[in-house]
Structure 1
């Protein structure tokens, strides 16, 4: 009862934002529910003077509900099927992820970018957009404003990719197989991958959507090593600064362990689509709900004033990933 009394109003408030955002995301998938949710939250926080009653629930949603969303994401991953069908794309995925992280690190040093912004934009660009940011943010202890800014950057280049890539693929005379790999490796968010692949299928009367989605799911598995590596690095750095010993037990992001367990359960027990599909949808809805909380904790004026460097970093990561994906396909003879 104390939990509901403390967090209930804020949870309900975030839920009220998440429901219309969910439907808006369904109506305009190239933008997606999380972006609508953040925007509504940021507008409302400008209008609401006192948030004392709802603030505890908003904080709980932006932290705990976000982690729960990542766990439920694991139920949508049959590891055997993903690795069997996505095996061909692994070299390209490894190269694009490495490229994005290297570019983000270089620009972090060159532009004196906030380290959390650099990590979130680099990881979000290279793995799976909002889901990767949702998994990484608790590990690096990112603020809600840093998360909102990173999601906004990823959204911008998601939309551009969904609009440009089908035409670009046609100009480059890509095969259907090649475009499926291109969309799956060079576009970071599932909704935009789907939008681009569906547009290609409509133009070329092909069936690349399923292939692109499988490649995208294969990329999503990179959440596991990336979050673990960041957790260990962050803890080692903190312990070195404080002069104390390193503790893996304290470092380990346990919600990522539950994400892995969910994927293992799906794989071992061959959970049917009738079970996994609702859990995947629940994961998406919880992310939208968490983004509402993040929007409510973010002031849009500050976001605009500090946005130039993250946007430039996102642009460079996007261009780098696109170029490497095309080059790798060319060298592998897939194009």
Structure 2
């Protein structure tokens, strides 16, 4: 490789990093909402690639947790508990039905058992977090994890963009949308992003129900250990949910800090926008190629059935 070619590559790499930083900073402004941030991240990844791939993944995980905890400072504990009661039984029922449907679809489409179980778990509970929790218990290999995570990632991106549009088209109330998005969208990031786009009441309810749903990662992992004789030491517990509850308790019982809480909530919402941008940059061509046709079809059908079923219940019961 000649000197000129090396210089060209170096300049290109620098320009990619500059563009990434510009878009990252742009996401901090009020001109960018969660769907736009996700689209920007995806386009960046597909067109030029993410020059900070490894760093982006690490930052997005911690930033999402921090943003969710910060949102807790804007919620009243008693109101959240009251709202969460009605979603509890619905959550339990939907998890069982989703896992059962996933097993049936996996058998029908002849998707390898471990891959089917991972996709079903991600759809039933909390997307990538659930997959990451049960994967080690199943001794899933890198290929199986990539297929399941890729499937959930793509459907998450679609959900974040489509759900608010469908919600407005059907004139769903804030309450209805909050319940629907929390149950039917895979990852917490997309649930919170879609609900934030829809409205404040939807955001609070969706966040509460989704985080309560995420706790089912624990019994799912234990169940997986029991039926597959896995290593229970590898169960991942979402401890940050405890800090979210603590934030709600502080804002409820110490209202004197309302001004500080309002700033924390504001910065948390901007942090969520940045998080969705970083998550979007993870959708590379390699991720798309890693998703098998049958596994993706299974995940898509399972997600459509669950989304429509939950929507029907929400329209009727809420």
TM-score, length-scaled by structure 2: 0.65
Contiguous gaps of at least 5 residues in structure 1: 1-8, 49-53, 170-177, 198-208
Residue 87 (structure 1) aligns with: 85
CA–CA separation in structure 2 for the residues paired with 1:20 and 1:308: 39
CA–CA separation in structure 2 for the residues paired with 1:25 and 1:110: 47
Residue 179 (structure 2) aligns with: 185
Deviation of residue 251 (structure 1)? 2.3
Q: Map 1:78-157 onto structure 2 (within 5 A).
A: 78=75, 79-113=77-111, 118=116, 122=120, 125=123, 132-141=126-135, 143=145, 146-157=148-159
| Deviation beyond 6 Å, 4+ runs, structure 1 | none
CA–CA separation in structure 1 for the residues paired with 2:60 and 2:26: 16
1:266 to 247, 267, 270: 247
Residue 283 of structure 2: SS of its match in structure 1? helix
Q: Does 1:275 align with 2:269?
A: no
Residue 19 (structure 1) aligns with: 24
Q: Map 1:1-335 onto structure 2 (within 5 A).
A: 16=21, 19=24, 22=27, 27=32, 29=34, 31-45=35-49, 58-59=53-54, 61-62=56-57, 64-72=58-66, 73-77=68-72, 78=75, 79-113=77-111, 118=116, 122=120, 125=123, 132-141=126-135, 143=145, 146-169=148-171, 179-187=173-181, 188=185, 189-195=191-197, 197=198, 209-233=199-223, 240=229, 246-247=231-232, 250-253=233-236, 256-257=238-239, 259-270=240-251, 272-292=261-281, 294-296=282-284, 298-299=285-286, 302-303=289-290, 306-307=292-293, 309-327=295-313, 330=316, 332=317, 334=318
After superposition, the Cα gap between the structure-2 partners of 1:307 and 1:27, relative to the gap in structure 1 and judged at 3 Å, is farther
Deviations 1:188-244 (A, max 9, x none): 33343455x4xxxxxxxxxxx343333312222235323323444555677x36xxx
TM-score, length-scaled by structure 1: 0.63
CA–CA separation in structure 2 for the residues paired with 1:153 and 1:329: 23
RMSD: 4.1
CA–CA separation in structure 2 for the residues paired with 1:111 and 1:25: 45
CA–CA separation in structure 2 for the residues paired with 1:260 and 1:252: 16
CA–CA separation in structure 1 for the residues paired with 2:26 and 2:234: 34
Q: Is the 8 A contact 1:108 1:115 kept in 2?
A: yes
